[in-house]
Structure formats: C-alpha cells, structure tokens
Amino acid sequence: MNSDPGTDLVAAIRSLPEKVPPCDITAKVMQQLSPPAPSLWQRLRRQLLTPIGFQVSPLGATLWACSCVLFFLAGYWSQGGLRGELAPSGDTPGGVPLGVNPAVLAVTTANSPEANFIIGRDLLMAGSEHQAVAFLRQAARQAPQRAAYHFWQGIAYWQTGQYEQERASYLQSIRLKPDYLPALLNLGNSYLQGGKAVQAVQLYSQVLELNPREEQALYNQALAFRISGDQVQEIEALQAYLSQYRQGSRAWKVAERLRELGNHRFRSYQLGRTRVILDQQILLSPKGAAQQAELLRIAEVLRSAAPVQLHIVIFDPTGVALARTKAIELSRGLTQALAPAKSLSITSSWFRQQEPSSPGIAPGRSDRSIVLFTTPLPTNNQEQRI
Amino acid sequence: MNRRRLAAVEPSDEEIVARVLAGATQEYAWLVRKYERPIYNLMYRVTAHEQEAADLAQEVFVQSFAKLQTLDNHQPYFNWLYTIALNKGRDWKRALRNRSHHTPWRETDHAPRKDHFQDLSSQEQAIQQQQYQEQLQRALLTLPAEKREPLILRYSYELSIREIAEIFSLSESATKMRIKRSLEQLRSLVENPFNQVSPHEQ
C-alpha cells in the first residue's frame, strides 16, 4: 500500500476537520414534521377539566401500604444506624454527609485547599489529569482568592481537553493577579493554539512588558503574527527574538524565517567549525555597546576555535571610504576583544558595491552588508611534498 | 466521523424507518441526529456558508421524511438520504448561477488544538498541517461534486464501493475509476494550487 502514490493524500482526506452542525437542526426539523403543539391554555384546560378516575383492588392496596411502611422503617433504621456508627457526638467528621462512604469522599475532597492543591498538582505531574481536575477544582473553590490555584486548575483543564474552562481559569487567575505571568503566557498560548492570534498577541505583549526576555512569548508572538498574516509585525517580532536569543534550534528557525521573508539583518556566519548568528545592522552601525556585544560573540567563537584567519569583507555602495573605515574599526575591535588571550590574524577587504547575490540568498537585502569567514592559518611546519 | 461510528448507533436505521412509517414521527429525530453531521458537511462543501448549509440540511431531512414511503426496503437509508442531499446541492448551485449576488467565501477553520507546553516546533508543524489542510480543502472544493463526494464518502465515511456506486447510479468499476481519477486530479490541484479556481467560478 505504501507504493500507492495516493496513500498520503487519502490519509490527509481522512484527517480533514469536519464542521460541527448547529445544535438546533434536529429541533427545527422535528418542528416542521410535528403538528403544532397545543397552547398553554389548551393544555391547562385539558388537564383541569378531564376527570381523573382509578380503580383499586383490596389486595393491591394492602401490598402498596405494606411496602410504603417497610420503606419508611428501612430508611429510619439505616439513618439511625449510621449516626450511631459515624458520629456518636451527633456531628460528622469533616462535614461528611450521612450515608456517604467517607473513604470514597476523601479521594475527591479534602478540607484544606492547600492539601487539595498539592495533591492535584502532584496528580497532574504523575499524569492522572482527570483526578487532578477534581482536586484542583476543589482547591480553587475553597480558596477562590488564590490565583495560583486557578492557574493550575487551568492546566488540568487543558490536559483533559476542556479548553473553554482552561481559558476561564486563566482569566480568573489574571483577574485576581493581573501581573501573573504564567497565566498570561498560558492564556496567550491557548488563544494561539485556538487560532485566535489577535488575543494571543495582546497577551504576549503583556508578558513581554513584565519580562522582555520571556523566550516563549517572544517566539510565539512571531508565530501569532505569522498566523494573522502580518509580515511587518512578524519580522519585528522575529528580530526581537534574535536580539535576545541566538542559540538553540528556535534561533536558527527564526533566522531562517527572516531570510525567507527577505530580511537580512540577522545572518549566519561560519567561523571555524562553529556557525553563529550575527546582527549585521549593529555590526555596520557606529561604535557602541551593542556593537561591542556582537564583537564579543565573534571573539567567543574564535577563542575556542583552532587557529584561523578571519576575513572581514564590507560591501558599501555609498562610499569606499566608509567601508574601509568600518572594516578597520571592526578589525581593531575584534583584536581588542580577543586580547590578551589569543592573537588573531584578520584580513579586511572593502568594496564600493552591493554584495553580489548568491543562489542561496533571496533578493531584497540591504545595501550595506558584511561577510565574515575563516580560512585555515598557513603554518610553517607543514610537510612539503615534492 | 466514520462509517463505523455511524453504524454503531442503535437501533438500526431500518427499524427506525419502520417505526416512523408506522406513525411514530418522533422517532425520526434519531435519524436526524445520526446523520445531521455528514449532511450538514456536504451542504457546507456545496454552499461554503454555515447558515445556508444548515437551512439546506434541514430541507433535506424534511424532504426525506416526506418521501420516506418511497424508500426501497433493500436500500440503506443513509445512501438514499445522501442522494437526496446531493440533488438538493445541485439544485442550490443551479439556483445560485441565476442569482446575482455572490455567496461569501468560506470561513477559515481554526488550527487544530495542540499541546502548548510542547516544543514550539510542533506548533509550527501544526501551522504547516493547518495550511496543508486548508489547501486540500480548497482543492477539494474546486472539484465538482460528482468527483469530490465519492472521495469523501470513500475515505471520510468509509462507504464501500458498492454503496457509493448506488448513490451515484454507477457501476462498481466506473465508481472505482472515478475515485482514482478524482484522487489524481486532487493531487495535481494540491501540488499546483495555481490551477485551483473558486468553486463558484466553475
């Protein structure tokens, strides 16, 4: 079957989502089929005016009366018995209602909200989501002022697939504590997964106001803009992510996405055996703390690399003098950043032209650009071959 | 929703139809509840509009109730109902061509819900999957109903070739050939989205 070229397409057709019909279709159809229902007045009139008659046999009446008495006595005895067993003092322990097995009840409720919260959270960690929901719901009911309880209740709802309740719990949590970052973030994620990009963006903005370095919010904000089709905002969000994070698979995905969108501010460079993402715009901008940070990134890579020669190539169609100045400035900056631990051989070149496009790079790059690459350092002790 | 799930509901369609014909009109609600989803979805594929699809689905069920006495004992109720729905869809399209206003384009379905504590690459995969599904939906809608519906019936509702052949009044071999060709056409449309035209431009 695998050789069938339509197999994947068939699988895709099978997994296509279906529309859920409105819930009132059956009612509307049946309304059209059934004869019109009598009005309230007609029904009342029929009920009140129709005479009621019933027949009773002596044996039946006796049996009926006996069973009523038996039921009454059974109920009376069972209540008295239970009262005697469970609460001799006349009260039930922990408010457990009479007639309910307290052992069973203890599984779903505890008197202390903290206890319910801890048990619920542990159950959640252990993968018993459905049980956890009961405990966390109880905790949130017992201590409705605790934002964390509502937050964890939301997580439990999410894990059991109750997304509406999940959002309601996060919202309640945020109502109680408007700057509760985990709830804001999770609510944003929930909206994002539900395709509500606008709401998600709003929440991520709130998260980033509280913590501008929150990685998930930075990344997901870009995803939300991508879903909503706003490329300008997406590029800004992607750049904001790379301004904070340059390592890890997400950083590479972000750099790749920026390249796809025709934005070449952040480029990846192969330095020795390491590939690094650098902010081209900052490298080409006037000296400053940000540029120093970029140079330190390069220095860090080169410090741990085998001896190599670094080539700095600046393309600047606006003027050769500017390109030259920048190349020399970067070369000096790098030497300073590496000193005194390691000396570095740097070759600088500059061109008064735009960087020639290569097949891997899409058009739309900025006019000024910088290329960094390394070559092995020529050594004197190499074997000479004749 | 697949055929197995449809068939799992008790009592059987034949029993319900017999009871309805015997005068138990309320029993018809079982059949409506059981098949409202596939019929509504068929109508949604035809109209690309939720309200319109709901109205048409209602009409199909009312019409089916009115014609219930004409249902052949040997014919499964669902196949018969689907034929009525297909005809209703054709009538609607014909009427649409005569109308001057344009029917709104379909609403975008939401992305399938995924784990949001997962690695974010899965979220991207979800987006890609959603995009692919949207592309597939669009391509499916581009196909005429005669080609699209056999595919849906075969692969979404898992009807047998014989049942589909009955619905479309075709021989089994012709049905197989139609499904094969529809699948090929669908593949080409998915791979070359520029070949797609709006279903209302057909």
Q: Are residues B2 and B92 in the same domain?
A: yes
Identify whether the C-beta of residue B202 lies closer than 8 Å to the C-beta of residue B48. Answer: no
A355, part of any domain: yes
Q: Are residues B24 and B81 in the same domain?
A: yes
Query: Which one of B30, B60, B116, B118 makes the best mutation probe of the A interface by having the most chain A beta carbons within 10 Å?
Result: B116
Determine the distance from the C-alpha atom of residue B38 to the mean position of all C-alpha atoms in its chain, rounded to a whole number.
5
Domain that holds residue A305: 265-377
What's the pLDDT at A173?
93
Q: Are residues B3 and B53 in the same domain?
A: yes
A146, part of any domain: no
Inter-chain touch B152–A13, beta carbons under 8 Å: yes
Please state the ipTM of this predicted complex. 0.72
Inter-chain touch B187–A5, beta carbons under 8 Å: yes
Closest CA to B169 of B95, B33, B75: B75
Inter-chain touch A13–B156, beta carbons under 8 Å: yes
Q: Are residues B134 and B170 in the same domain?
A: yes
B110, part of any domain: no
> CB of A44 within 8 Å of any CB in chain B?
no
Mean pLDDT calculated for residue range A326-347: 81
Instruction: Return d(Cα A105, Cα A109) in angstroms, integer.
Output: 6
For A248, residues 6+ apart whose C-beta sits below 8 A from its C-beta are none
Q: Are residues B12 and B93 in the same domain?
A: yes
Query: Which member of B65, B120, B151 has the closest CB to residue A219?
Result: B120
Domains of chain B: total: 2
- B126 or A24: which carries more pLDDT confidence? A24
A304, part of any domain: yes
Q: Are residues B2 and B93 in the same domain?
A: yes
Query: Which member of B36, B113, B186 has the closest CB to residue A163?
Result: B113
What's the pLDDT at B202?
40
B116, part of any domain: no
Residues A70-114: tens digit of each pLDDT: 888 887 776 654 444 433 333 333 333 444 343 444 445 567 888
Domains of chain A: total: 1
Collect all residues of chain B within an 8 Å Cβ-Cβ radius of residue A192. 116, 123
- Is the pLDDT at A206 greater than 70? The verdict is yes
DSSP conformation letters of chain B: --HHHHHTSSS-HHHHHHHHHTT-GGGHHHHHHHHHHHHHHHHHHHH--HHHHHHHHHHHHHHHHHTGGG--TTS-HHHHHHHHHHHHHHHHHHHHHH-SSPPPPPPPPPPPP--SSS-HHHHHHHHHHHHHHHHHHHHHHHS-HHHHHHHIIIIIS---HHHHHHHHT--HHHHHHHHHHHHHHHHHHHH-GGG---GGG-
- B22 or A35: which carries more pLDDT confidence? B22
Mean pLDDT calculated for residue range B16-38: 87
CATH label of the domain that carries residue A297: 3.30.1330.60
Instruction: Return d(Cα A268, Cα A360) in angstroms, integer.
Output: 12
- Is the pLDDT at B72 greater than 50? The verdict is yes
Do the strands A266-271 and A308-315 form a parallel or antiparallel pair, or are they unpaired? unpaired
- Is the pLDDT at B11 greater than 80? The verdict is no
* Window 293-352 of A, Cβ < 8 Å to B: none
CATH label of the domain that carries residue B8: 1.10.1740.10
B106, part of any domain: no
Inter-chain touch A25–B1, beta carbons under 8 Å: no
Residues B129-173: tens digit of each pLDDT: 777 778 888 888 888 888 888 988 888 888 889 888 988 888 999
Q: Are residues B142 and B187 in the same domain?
A: yes
Residues A124-135: tens digit of each pLDDT: 888 888 889 999
What's the pLDDT at A202?
93
Task: Return left, alpha or beta for A270; rule: phi > 0 is left, psi -120 to 50 is alpha, else beta.
Answer: beta
What's the pLDDT at B3?
43
Q: Are residues B69 and B160 in the same domain?
A: no
Q: Are residues B15 and B81 in the same domain?
A: yes
CATH label of the domain that carries residue B148: 1.10.10.10
What's the pLDDT at B9?
42
Least confident range from A149-163, A167-181, A287-301: namely A287-301
A161, part of any domain: no
A176, part of any domain: no
Find the closest chain A residue to B31 by CA distance. Answer: A26
B126, part of any domain: yes
- Is the pLDDT at A385 greater than 80? The verdict is no
> Rounded mean pLDDT of chain A?
80
Domain that holds residue B34: 1-98
B198, part of any domain: no
What's the pLDDT at A277?
92
